[in-house]
Structure 1
Amino acid sequence: MGAQTYEPTWESLDARPIPAWFQDAKFGIFIHWGVYSVPSWIRVREGRYASYAEWYYARVMGELKGDEDFHARTYGADFEYRDFAPMFTADLFDPDFWAELFAEAGARYVVLTSKHHDGFCLWPTRSPFKQNWNSMDVGPKRDLVGELTEAVRRRGLRMGLYYSLIEWETNRTARTPSGRFIPQAAMDKYGIPLDRYVDEHVLPQLKELVTLYQPAVIFADGGEWDEGESFWHTREFLAWLYNNAPNKDEVVVNDRWAKGMPGRHGDYYSSEYQDVEGIGAGHP
């Protein structure tokens, strides 16, 4: 597989064989962990997507909140989401213990949220837009991605990374009446200029993660919500990944990189609750 060169077209990218290890792996561990783990709260509601505690910024403090006053009552009306970061200390984090537990459970791979929609990074990213908003600069003062990656591999498991393409502080959306997930004031204060967001932040971060940690699995998220592949440069990045990643013969990606992509392209499909029209019946 390594001798093949892939072009930035779906015909070429879709022709890439799915690495055999993933076909055989069957069972993996997926970890949501970040600043949102500090409050660890959301009101349980009816409906899909409604009770995700990792959506605290949007659902408890932002545009999707209901009538609860939990945040103001517990932390104060002037307490920003970013004020949680120093409280995210990870002081009990023992990566070797985690890896041992995962191995004993029979898992073959592990996927960690390197960056969720709040934009907080669990590694010391070089992105100029994430200084003081990553786990080395604030909170744990540790490379959480790197430590867990090393521990997992020592146990003979493969390591993967989740990466949110969108960030609530920057990206607008058609999913809410206001066109945003969080208060406009937070977007104005912390958002990245949209004309610089993909080329100067997202793509360099993705290549940084691939180069530093060589994830066997990349789980992209949010790219399919509002923007198409031309905005994200989806095909160009995947061609780079399949041709140039240090572990290019090992890595697999999902189908949430751009609007219109789910269930059509990707090494594995990751429909959240349903497989649209059974399209993935013969696909991982």
Structure 2
Amino acid sequence: MTAHAQSSRSVNPFKQPKAVFAVAFACVVSFMGIGLVDPILPAISDQLNATPSQVTLLFTSYLVVTAVAMLITNWVSSRIGAKRTLIVGLALIVVFAALAGGSGSIGGIVGFRVGWGIGNALFIATSLAVIVASASGGFVGAIILYETALGVGIAVGPLLGGLLGNVSWRGPFYGVAVLMAVALVATVVLVEPIPLPARRTGLGEPLRALRHPVGHVLRNVTGHGEVGRLVAEHAERTGARAIVVGAPAHGGLTALMDAGTGQSLMRYATCDVVLINPRSAELKPAA
């Protein structure tokens, strides 16, 4: 178990190892895939004689499969490791994006977008954990870098799709395949393997976690130390890989998030504990 305290005033999100930027670049390209096909939909519809409902499936097949597949990413990464999960996800995106570009039917593109969505889920759900684990410029900086990559990817996706779509509707698919191949090589070379978690995550744990709302966990709390213990037990029960604790400026939890809570949390937690802007200088890792 580890604990980190980071002051947001000294964070520079761009002072990070090359591995962090390699994954962040892959995040940009990955999020491009959401809006990439939007500008080329008319061309696909005309050249492949696709109906509006078939064209719509280019979005829904990708997004729905990505959402559902994210439920199993923890199960996968807890068995093969975060780096291998990233590599598998990137490889699937490269393969299925290239296959979509070479397809001659709307049904083929929709099917390949399904495979693309599975790879995207494996990558997206694991990339933030890898960025945080590889970051040396601060936890908050790593989060800022990830969110920047997300925003840039979503914004650039339609622009790149339109630019490459001027050449051919196949261009955006091949473009993503090439960019993701570059990201795949960078990930293999630059990202260090991350140790496997102490406990493997079960397939049903993400759904079981929904049965334990935080309000129920903290019901009838009588002391600050009990808050830390209950949160730690809740994290273990739901298969959490990390607990992030901030110091709220106001609200009902303000009085509870003090040194006693933090010490208790780190004493009982079986996963990583990340402390951001601790309210008390006495908040230190438990022995």
| TM-score range relative to shorter protein | under 0.3
Greater per-residue helix proportion:
2
The structure whose residues are more often strand, as a share, is 1
TM-score, length of structure 2 as denominator length: 0.25
Structure 1 length as normaliser, TM-score?
A: 0.25
User: Could you say which structure has the greater relative contact order, defined with CA pairs below 8 angstroms and 6 or more residues apart?
Assistant: 2
